[in-house]
Structure 1
Amino acid sequence: MLEELEVRNLGPIRSAVLTPGRGMTAITGETGAGKSMLLSAIRLISGATASVGRVSAGADSAWAQGIFDVDENGKAAGLAQDAGVLDAESQETDPDPDEIGRRELFLSRTVPASGRSRAVLCGHSVPRNVLGNVAAELVTIHGQADQLRLASPARQREFLDMAADDQAEREAYRQAWERLQTIDQRLSNVTNQEASTRQRADYLRESIEQINKVDPKPDEDEELKEKRSRVENAAEIAQGVGAALSALDASSVDSDSDAQSASDAINHAIQALHAIHVGGAFTEAADRLESLNADLSDIVFSLSNEMDTDEDAEGLDAINSRIHQLDELTRRWGPTLADVTAWRDKAAFEVEDLDASPEKVEEIKARHKQAFDEAMKAAEALSKKRKAAAAALANTVTKELSALAMAGAGLEIRVVRRNAGLKGNASTKSDEGQTTSATWPLDANGIDDIEFLFTPFPGSPQLPMGKSASGGELSRLMLALELAVAEKRTAGSSDMTFIFDEVDAGVGGKAAVELGKRLAKLSQTSQVIVVTHLAQVASWADFQFVVSKGSAKAQSANSQASVETTVNEVTGEARIHEIARMLSGSESATSLSHAQELLNSSKL
C-alpha cells in the first residue's frame, strides 16, 4: 500500500506530504485548489508521460516520490529485484515482528523545467517503463484519463479470469497449449519442409563423402607446406649447411681435411683453463666452455643429418596437388583441418536426424492430433468456467450500479467461442480430416473472445468499455467491478492501492451515501484513495486530507505573490468543520451538527 506521497514544485504545490493509511482516505478541498496535482504526482511515479508545463513557476524541476509497503514475495518486489535494485542485504538486520515479510519500495520521478525526466526506483535510475511496470502492481487509478486500462480485450480477459478463480483451468490449458506448439513445430519440420530437408541431407552426404575421399590428417597441410619449401630451396639449403659445417668442423664435409674444428679449439681452451690451479673464475669459465662445446656438438650433428637428407624434387607436383586438395577442404569447411573433421562428424549426426522415415512422420502426426484434442478439451473446460463467471459478474455489477445512482445501467460480458481460422505458430500439411494450425480456433489464452459491453443509461446502446461514457459513469462502473471481485483477489492483494477520481460526478443525496459506503467496503480488502467533493463520500473515510490554496510571499520586491497549495490532514474538530463546509459551504452551528451526525452514521 501507499505509505507516503511527497510532492515538490508540481503546479501550485510547492511542498506537500500525503500519508494515507490502511483503509479509505478522502482528499477534499475547494474546486481549483489543486487536488488534481496529487493525482498527477501518482501518475508520474507510475511512469506516465511527463509535462514540463506542470513544473511550478520559477522552479528548476518538479519531483514526486511514493513509498510503498509491499509483500517481499509479491510481484512488485520481484520486478524490482529483476531490475537489480533490490537484494537480500537491503533487509534490516533486526526487523520489527510486524514487518517480517514486508519491504518498502521507493518510486520517484524528477521532471526538469527543460530536458528529460528521470525515473528512480529504490535509489537507482531505471527506464520509465520499469517504474511503470512496478507501479502497475501497486496502484490502480480509476479516473477519466485512466479508464482505457480495461478497454483492451487482454485486460478484460485477465479481470474475468480473476473473477472466475480459474487458475487451475488456465494452468492445465497452458501446459496443453505448450505441448501442442512443440509437436506442431516438429510436424512442420518433417512435412512442410520435406523438399528442403532432402536437399540438406543430400548436401551433407556429398560433403562427408568428399572429405572422406581426401582423408585429411591433423596438421597435414602445414607439414606439406614445410616440405614443399625444403624441396624448392634444396640447393640453397645444401650450400648454406655445407658452408656452416666447413666452418665448424671441416672433417664432417671432407674426411681428408686436417683443419682444426671449432670443438677442438674449445677443448684446447678448456684444458688451458684447467691447468690453472687457482680455481674460481677460471674453473667457472671452463665449465661454461664445456656446456658450449656440448651445444656445438649437437648443432654439428643436426646439420650433418640435414646434409644426408635427400629431397625428392620429382615429388614436388604430388606435394602441390595434395596441398591443393586440403586447401579446398579448409576453404569450404575450415579454417583448419581440425575444423573440417569436426564439421564432418557433426554432419553425420545431422544426416541421421534428417532421414525421417514415413513411419516416423505418421507417428508425429498421431501425436499432433492427440495434443490438439487435449488442448481443445482443456480450452473447453476453461471456457465453461469463464462463461459461468461472466454471467455472475455481470449480474453483480449491474446490481451495484443501481445502488450507485445508475438505475437502468448494466454490464454484459460476452464470452464467445472463436471461429476456426486463427493462424497458429506454424502451418502444417495434413491428410484429409487433419486439423492444422491454419484452422485452429485456439491461441495462447484459450478458445474465447471476451468483450465487456456497458449500457450507461436506459435506452443507450451497448458500448465497449471506455468509449462514450462519462468519467463519473466509468469510475462508478470500475468501483462496481472492483467490489464484485474484492473477495476473489489473491493473497497479498491488500498491497494494491485503488484511486478513484470523479467517481462522485453527478451523484448526490442517498446515492452519495451508498457510494461512500461501497468505497469503504472496498477499503476493507485494499487501500482506497478517493478524490471527492461530496461530504457523504468523505465521511466514510478513515483518513481525510484537505487541499487548500493561499497566497505565497513574493520572492523579491519586483515579483508578485503567487498562489500555493497546501495539503493537511484533518482530524477531530478540524474534520467536522471541513465536512460542514462541504455540506453547506459554511460552518454554522447547524451545519456543524449535521457534519457530526453524518460522521457518526458513516460506519460499516
Structure 2
Amino acid sequence: MTRKAPRPTAVSPDPVLPPLARLEVRNLATIQTLDLPFQEGLSVFTGETGAGKSIIVDALGLLLGSRSNTDLIRTGEDDLLVTGHWAEEIASRRVSSQGRSTARLDGEVVSLRELQEWAQRRLTIHWQHSAVSLLTPANQRALLDRQLPAEHAAYASAYRTWLDARTRLERLRASERERARQLDLLQFQAQEIAQIAPQIGEEEPLQADLTRLSNLDTIAQSAAHALSLLSDADENALGFLNEAVRALNAGARYDETTGQLQTELREAVASVQAVVGELRAVAEDQAPDPEELARVEARLGALGKLRSKYGPTLDDVLTFHAQVEDELAALTRDEQDAGTLDAEVAALHADLTRVGAALDAARRKRAGPLAQDLLDVIRQLGMPHARLEFQLSPLADAGPHGLSDVTLQFTANPGEDLAPLADVASGGELSRVMLAISTVLGADTPAVVFDEVDAGIGGSAALAVAAQLRSLARTRQVLVVTHLAQIAAQADHHYKVEKSVEGGRTVSRVRRLDQQERLEEVARMLSGNTSDAALQHARELLHAVS
C-alpha cells in the first residue's frame, strides 16, 4: 500500500520576512519593460516553447547574485535593470553593457555579496543546473545534519577546541632555533617601539615647531619691520593715531558722535600698543636654540623611522606594537604550557572522538526515517521503483564536520544497485529529488522558484509533481516555470509569457490570465489547440483541482 507523502518537517520561514510582492524588469533579453505583481500561493508561468518563460527566473537570479552576462542586455540598450519588492524593502541590480554591475538595497549602493546574502534569506531558486548542488558530498551531509543541529553544533565546538590546541602544539614542536629567532625579532620590535613611545597626533605640532625653529631669523626680521612701522620709525602708526585722537578733542566737546569715534580711536591705540609689546618680544627673543632644534628633528626622525618600518601611520605603528605584544605573550605562554599541551591535545582528541561518535550515532538513527520520507515523495514523482539511502563512510581522521563522510546513494531503476547520486541521477531526476527535499524538509525562504522541475515527466508523475508543488505552496510562496498542464491547473495564479514582433523587434510580455484565458491556455498545453475537445479536457482538469 502506497504511503501518503509526509508533511514538511522543517519550520516555516521567518514570519518577519515577507514574500516577493512585485518584480520590475527593464531591457532583459526580449523583455523591454515588465512590472509584475505577485501573490502568495502557487504561481505558474507557461507559454510556447521559446517564448522566454525562464527570463523571469534569470531576472530573480540576478537579485540572488548570479553572474551577470552582458548577453542578457536587450540588443541596442546600454543596461538592464531588475528590481524586486518585498513589502517595504526594495532590492535592485543594474548591469551595463560594459559589464559593470551595481547592486542596491532600499536605494543604497551595496556590494554584490551583500545583495546576495540579503536575497538568499528571502528567495530560493531551484533550476536544473542548481540541482547539481545535490551532487556534492558537503550538501548531502548538510541535508542530514540539518535534522541534528545540537549534535552538529557540539561536534563543531569540540573540533575547534581540539584544532586550536593542536595548532599550538605544532607551533611548539617547531625548531627551538626558529622559535628563539622569532622571540628575538618580536622582542626587538616591541622594545624599539616602546623606547620611542609614539603618541597619536604628536607629529603635527612637532612639524610646526620644526618650521618655527628653522625660520627664527625670518620671524624676528618680520617682527622688527612691523615694529618700525607701528612705533619705532620717526613717522609711525602709533604717532599718527595719537595725533588723530588729539585732533578730535575740539569736536568731541560739541558732538557726541565725534566723542564716540575718539573713544574708539583711543581703544585702537591701546590695541596697537599691546601688539607692539608682543612684537618686540618676538623680535628680541628669537635667538636660535640649536639644542631645541636638534631635539625636534631627532623626535620627528625617530617617529618617521617607526612609520617606515611599521606604518604608514602612527596609529598603524601602535596597532602593530599591540600585535607584537600579543604574539610575545602567546609564545611565552606556549613555552610555559609545553609540558602539559601534549596531554591536553590527546584528551581533547578523545573528547572529539566521543562527540563525533555521538554525531554519527544520531546520523544513523535519523538517516533511515529521513531517507524513507524522501523516498515516499520521490516515488510519487514518476520514479516508483526508486531507492535512496544515506551512507556513512568513516574518515581516516576527524574532519571539520564529523568522523564520517555522508553520501546519498540512489537508483531510479528496478534491479539496479544503489550508487552515488552524482553518478546515476539524470537532470530531471535531480530536479525531482530537489522537489522532494523541499517538500519534506521545507525551504529556508518565504519564496521558492522552480524552473523546469517537470522535465522528462508526464501522466501520473506530472500530477504527483503538481500535488507536491501545491502542498509546498501552503507554507511558501511558490513560483514555477512549467510546460505541463497538470501543474498549471494546480496554480492559484497563472501567468502567460508571450513573444511577438513589434516594430521589427522581438518582445516578450508576461500577463496574468483570467479564468477564460486560463482555460484556453491549459487546453493548448494539453492538445496544442483550443478545440472543443481540448477545452473540455482542460475544464475537467481544472475542475478536478477545485
Q: What TM-score comes out, normalization by structure 1 length?
A: 0.61
Q: What is the CA–CA distance in structure 1 between the aligned matches of 2:144 and 2:429, rounded to whole Å? A: 20
Cα displacement (A) at 1:28: 1.0
Give me the whole-angstrom Cα distance separating, in 2, the residues matched to 1:196 and 1:567: 69
Match of 1:188 in 2: 170
Rounded to whole Å, the distance in 2 between the matches of 1:7 and 1:350 is: 54
1:234-255 Cα shifts (integer Å, max 9, x gaps): xxxxxxxxxxxxxxxxxxxxxx
Residue of structure 1 in register with 2:93 after alignment: 108
Q: 1:564 to 1:350 in 2, by over 3 A?
A: closer
Map 1:192-591 → 2, pairs under 5 A: 192-198=174-180, 360-420=337-397, 441-443=398-400, 445-458=401-414, 464-465=420-421, 469-486=425-442, 493-495=444-446, 497-552=447-502, 554=503, 561-591=504-534
TM-score (norm 2): 0.67
Partner of 1:51: 69
Q: Give the aligned residue type for 2:366.
A: A
Task: Assess if the C-alpha contact under 8 Å between 2:132 and 2:430 holds in 1.
Answer: no
Structure 2: distance between partners of 1:587 and 1:62: 36
Are the counterparts in 1 of residues 489 and 522 from structure 2 also a CA contact under 8 Å?
A: yes
| Residues 1:143 and 2:127 are matched in the alignment | yes
Distance between the aligned counterparts of 2:493 and 2:120, measured in 1?
24
Distance in 2, matches of 1:400 and 1:542, equals 22
Alignment correspondent of 1:161: 145
SS in 1 for 2:68: coil
For structure 1, the 5+ residue unaligned runs are 70-102, 210-214, 217-279, 304-329, 336-341, 421-440, 555-560
What are the Cα deviations for residues 518-571 of structure 1, in whole angstroms up to 9, with x where unaligned?
A: 11111122221111121111111111101122331x2xxxxxx33322211113
CA distance in 1 between counterparts of 2:73 and 2:396 reads 52
CA distance in 2, matches of 1:36, 1:182: 48
Rounded Cα–Cα distance in structure 1 between residues aligned with 2:457 and 2:373: 20
How far does residue 115 in structure 1 lie from its aligned partner after superposition? 4.1
Cα deviation, 1:462-515, whole Å, max 9, x if unaligned, reads: 5644566433222111111211212xx6xxx452x2222222223222221111
- Is the contact made by 2:79 and 2:96 (CA closer than 8 Å) also made in structure 1? yes
**Equivalent of 2:36, from 2, 8, 18?**
18
| d(CA) in 2 for partners of 1:525, 1:409 | 27
Letter in 2 for 1:571: D
Contact 2:121–2:445 (Cα < 8 Å) also in 1 = no
Which moved further from structure 2: 35-44 or 129-138? 129-138
Partner of 1:66: 84
Q: Secondary structure at the match of 2:399?
A: coil
Displacement of 1:180: 1.8
For the residue of structure 2 that corresponds to 1:382, the secondary structure is helix
Partners of 1:65 and 1:108 within 8 A in 2: yes
Code of the residue aligned with 2:92 in structure 1: it is L
Residue 355 of structure 1 deviates from its aligned partner by 6.4
Contact 2:519-2:538 within 8 A present in 1 as well: yes
Q: Is the 2:73–2:79 contact (alpha carbons within 8 Å) kept by the matching residues of 1? A: yes
**CA distance, structure 2, for counterparts of residue 463 and residue 149 of structure 1:** 17
Q: State the partner residue of 2:240.
A: none
Confirm or deny: 8 A CA contact 1:147 1:466 kept in the other structure: no
The 4+ residue runs of structure 1 with deviation greater than 6 A are 201-209, 346-353, 355-359
SS at match of 2:449: strand
Aligned residue type for 1:505: A
Residue type at the aligned position of 2:498:
S
Looking at structure 1, the residues matched to 325 and 433 of structure 2 have their Cα atoms a distance apart, in angstroms, of 65
Deviation for aligned residue 1:38: 1.6
Structure 2 distance, partners of 1:463, 1:45, is 36
CA distance in 2, matches of 1:387, 1:156: 14
Output the amino acid matched with 1:366.
Answer: A
What do residues 358-401 of structure 1 show as CA deviations (whole Å, max 9, x unaligned)? 98433333322222222222222222222333322222222222
2:152 corresponds to = 170
- The whole-number CA distance in structure 1 between the counterparts of 2:156 and 2:531 is 64
* 2-structure distance, mates of 1:459, 1:178: 44
Determine which structure has greater relative contact order: mean sequence separation of CA pairs < 8 Å that are 6+ residues apart, divided by chain length.
Answer: 2
CA distance in 2, matches of 1:583, 1:12: 26
| Mapped partners of 1:533, 1:183: distance in 2 | 57
Partner of 2:402: helix, strand, or coil? coil
CA deviations over 1:222-267 (Å, ceiling 9, x no partner): xxxxxxxxxxxxxxxxxxxxxxxxxxxxxxxxxxxxxxxxxxxxxx
Supply the AA of the counterpart residue of 2:84.
Answer: G
Residue 601 of structure 1 aligns with which residue? 544
In terms of mean alpha carbon deviation, does 7-16 or 586-595 score higher?
A: 586-595
Shift of residue 34 of structure 1?
1.5
Where does residue 103 of structure 2 map in the other structure?
Answer: 119
State the Cα deviation string for residues 179-223 of structure 1 (Å, max 9, x = none). Answer: 2233333333444354434556689999999xxxxx99xxxxxxx
C-alpha distance in 1, partners of 2:143/2:173?
A: 40
Contact 2:83 2:90 in 1 (8 A): no
Post-superposition Cα deviations, 1:14-45, rounded to whole Å, max 9, x if no partner, equal 22233232121111112222112222222222
Deviation at 1:120, TM superposition (A): 3.0
Larger Rg: 1
Distance 1:350 1:472 in 2: 55
| 1:347 shift after superposition | 11
| 2-structure distance, mates of 1:467, 1:148 | 11
Distance 1:348 1:117, change over 3 A: closer
Corresponding residue pairs, total: 438
Alpha-carbon shift at residue 126 of structure 1 (Å) = 3.3
**Superposition RMSD on alpha carbons, in Å?**
4.7
CA separation of 1:359 and 1:157: change in aligned 2, threshold 3 A: same
Asked if 2 retains the 8 angstrom alpha-carbon contact of 1:143 and 1:471, the reply is no
Instruction: State the 1:403 CA deviation.
Output: 1.0
CA contact 1:5–1:17 (8 Å) conserved in 2: yes
- Helix, strand or coil: the match of 1:140? strand
